[in-house]
Amino acid sequence: MCVCVPLIALLLSPLTTASTAKRTAWVVESPAFAAAVRSSLSTSWELKDCSANGAGCAVSLPDAEVVIGRADALDLTRLPRLKLAQSSTYFYAAPKAVPSRAAIATATGFWPQRGVEQIAEWCIAAIFQDVYRLAAASAAFVECAFAAEAPSSCAAASEATNHTMVSDLTIGIYGYGRIGSEVARRAAALGATVIGTKRSGPFVPPPPPLKWLSPDNDRLLREADVVVLTVPGTGHASTAGLVNRTSLLLMRPHALLVPVSAGPINFGDLEAVLRDERPKQRAVIDTWPGGCWHYPNASCGPPLGPPDFPGSPVLARLPNVLPLPSLSMRDAAYWRSAADSVARNLDALANGKPLEGVVRNASDVVSVI
Ligand SMILES: *[C@@H]1O[C@H](CO)[C@@H](O)[C@H](O)[C@H]1NC(C)=O
Ligand SMILES: *[C@@H]1O[C@H](CO)[C@@H](O)[C@H](O)[C@H]1NC(C)=O
Ligand SMILES: *[C@@H]1O[C@H](CO)[C@@H](O)[C@H](O)[C@H]1NC(C)=O
Ligand SMILES: *[C@@H]1O[C@H](CO)[C@@H](O)[C@H](O)[C@H]1NC(C)=O
């Protein structure tokens, strides 16, 4: 009779047998995220903190059955027991980085049931940031008002403090749907004039709080001080390229663009127009065509490959662009839900149950234990 205790289990925990040994998952995420996963588990796992770039697991025994988080920060081919690359979010590791013996899964259970309110509030935050620039105003103030020769290097007060109000703005909801109507409700409550477009009617009378609703996107681009782009994004071929040179030049020269997804954006046009033709036009960019921030599959650069920027570094550094790390939906409630979802998949794996959020199944079932 064969006593099937793998050598690796003996090395790890000489006092236990394989059947009672803890399974090991490596966490390429924050210690707080690992702790949240731990607190939701009902099966026995050892969760090892690898740090966000994987460095913490570089010299560890390659015992992980699961890598959680930014899995492709590690060379996954050196993990012979790997069964699952479990993302901690809706992005997932580029499949070519994950050996076919392992499955790939995303976190599930938040979007689309939840997330609309988060995204809508983020749109309003982006508009407030554009109107008030609090951090920049504060930095300029500290620089001059607390200098030895204060206030001799301060700008005139009218320059240092002058600003408009959100209630002065016409806010255009390009794609008036689930997210768009929540943005409209918040913007109108702040006193802004809100207009919207969608593909199909009825358009008249406009649903409150809109001043008008129409299928005419170009009219919205011409009238709005802020264009909030809430059309269906990645995966919807029909909206690809909606943000292009023509549409950007239809916008008012001082307008702000707030897109909620990357799919509709022609990034080359956006960069060229904001840099060369419309220096006063602005964009808040939270969704990207590359890097670890590319929905849905993400490729994360070092240590496995060259730096993988989320988009053009030129675009990200323009003074009229505010680049952000896909934070619109990912609030504390999101991360709580994501940790629960990861724990459910660890439990499912330990119990031999189906996984959630599978992007790619393992090509073969490897029974190491
Ligand atoms: C204040 O800002 C408004 C809007 O940008 C501008 O039109 C106006 O000239 C500014 N006033 C002063 C005194 O700078
Ligand atoms: C580019 O923008 C114009 C103006 O809004 C629009 O009519 C056109 O369909 C857009 N192109 C693409 C490929 O979406
Ligand atoms: C990653 O996503 C991009 C854009 O959605 C797609 O073109 C590409 O084929 C995907 N790659 C893999 C390996 O899934
Ligand atoms: C993975 O396998 C399960 C069970 O066979 C199947 O239901 C599911 O559709 C597969 N998922 C993918 C992405 O292939």
Q: Which ligand is nearest to the CA of 254?
A: 1
Phi, psi (deg, nearest 5) at residue 161: -125, -15
Domain check: are 200 and 310 in the same one?
A: yes
pTM above 0.95, yes or no: no
With respect to residue 2, please indicate whether it lies within any of the assigned structural domains. no
Looking at the CA of residue 242, tell me the nearest atom of ligand 2.
Answer: 14
Which residue, among 190, 163, 127, has the nearest Cα to 328 in the 3D structure? Answer: 127
- Amino acid 365: pLDDT: 53
Which residue, among 91, 135, 122, has the nearest Cα to 258 in the 3D structure? Answer: 122
User: Is-contact 50 26, C-beta < 8 A?
Assistant: yes
Domain check: are 56 and 204 in the same one?
A: no
Which residue, among 364, 369, 330, 324, has the nearest Cα to 33 in the 3D structure? Answer: 330
Domain check: are 229 and 178 in the same one?
A: yes
Q: Which ligand is nearest to the CA of 168?
A: 1
With respect to residue 36, please indicate whether it lies within any of the assigned structural domains. yes
Range of the domain at 130: 116-323
Q: Which ligand is nearest to the CA of 95?
A: 3
Please report, for residues 148, 164, 338, 362, the alpha-carbon distance to residue 23 in angstroms, rounded to integers and kept in the order given.
61, 57, 20, 18
Which residue, among 109, 52, 104, has the nearest Cα to 297 in the 3D structure? Answer: 104
Q: Which class for 47: exposed (0-12), middle (13-18), buried (19 or more C-beta within 10 A)? A: buried
| Length of the chain as a residue count | 369
What is the 297 CA–ligand 3 centroid distance (Å)? 6
Q: Where are the alpha helices (DSSP H) in the chain?
A: 7-12, 31-40, 116-132, 134-145, 157-161, 178-189, 217-223, 245-250, 267-272, 313-317, 332-350
Domain check: are 212 and 300 in the same one?
A: yes
Tell me the average confidence (pLDDT) per consecutive run of 10 residues in the chain, 369 residues long.
45 47 93 98 97 90 96 93 97 94 97 97 98 97 96 96 97 98 98 98 98 98 98 88 98 98 97 98 97 91 86 97 97 98 98 97 66
- Amino acid 59: pLDDT: 85
- For atom 8 of ligand 3, the residue with the nearest CA is 297
With respect to residue 3, please indicate whether it lies within any of the assigned structural domains. no
Q: Which ligand is nearest to the CA of 296?
A: 3
- For atom 8 of ligand 1, the residue with the nearest CA is 162
Which residue, among 261, 314, 327, 319, has the nearest Cα to 288 in the 3D structure? Answer: 261
Does the CB atom of residue 360 touch ligand 4 within 6 A? yes
Looking at the CA of residue 218, tell me the nearest atom of ligand 2.
Answer: 5
User: Is-contact 100 362, C-beta < 8 A?
Assistant: yes
- Amino acid 17: pLDDT: 45
With respect to residue 10, please indicate whether it lies within any of the assigned structural domains. no
- Amino acid 364: pLDDT: 67
CATH code: domain of residue 104: 3.40.50.720
Does the CB atom of residue 30 touch ligand 4 within 6 A? no
Domain check: are 90 and 135 in the same one?
A: no
Q: Which ligand is nearest to the CA of 240?
A: 2
- Rounded CA-CA distance 336/219 in Å is 41
Looking at the CA of residue 359, tell me the nearest atom of ligand 4.
Answer: 13
- Amino acid 63: pLDDT: 94
Domain check: are 153 and 250 in the same one?
A: yes
With respect to residue 160, please indicate whether it lies within any of the assigned structural domains. yes
Domain check: are 150 and 253 in the same one?
A: yes
- Amino acid 22: pLDDT: 84
Looking at the CA of residue 235, tell me the nearest atom of ligand 3.
Answer: 5
Domain check: are 54 and 161 in the same one?
A: no
Pocket test for ligand 4, best of 84, 358, 364, 365 (most atoms within 8 A of CB): 358
Does the CB atom of residue 348 touch ligand 4 within 6 A? no
User: Is-contact 34 49, C-beta < 8 A?
Assistant: yes
Looking at the CA of residue 234, tell me the nearest atom of ligand 3.
Answer: 5
Which residue, among 307, 311, 341, has the nearest Cα to 326 in the 3D structure? Answer: 311
Domain check: are 136 and 153 in the same one?
A: yes
Angle at 50 between CA 49 and CA 52, to 5 degrees: 110
Beta pairing partners, 8: none
Looking at the CA of residue 163, tell me the nearest atom of ligand 1.
Answer: 2
The number of distinct structural domains making up the chain is 2
Give the number of C-alpha atoms closer than 13 A to the C-alpha of residue 248, restricted to the C-beta side: 27
Domain check: are 97 and 121 in the same one?
A: no
Does the CB atom of residue 164 touch ligand 1 within 6 A? yes
With respect to residue 231, please indicate whether it lies within any of the assigned structural domains. yes
With respect to residue 185, please indicate whether it lies within any of the assigned structural domains. yes
With respect to residue 1, please indicate whether it lies within any of the assigned structural domains. no
Domain check: are 154 and 225 in the same one?
A: yes
Domain check: are 224 and 285 in the same one?
A: yes
What is the 163 CA–ligand 1 centroid distance (Å)? 7
Does the CB atom of residue 361 touch ligand 2 within 6 A? no
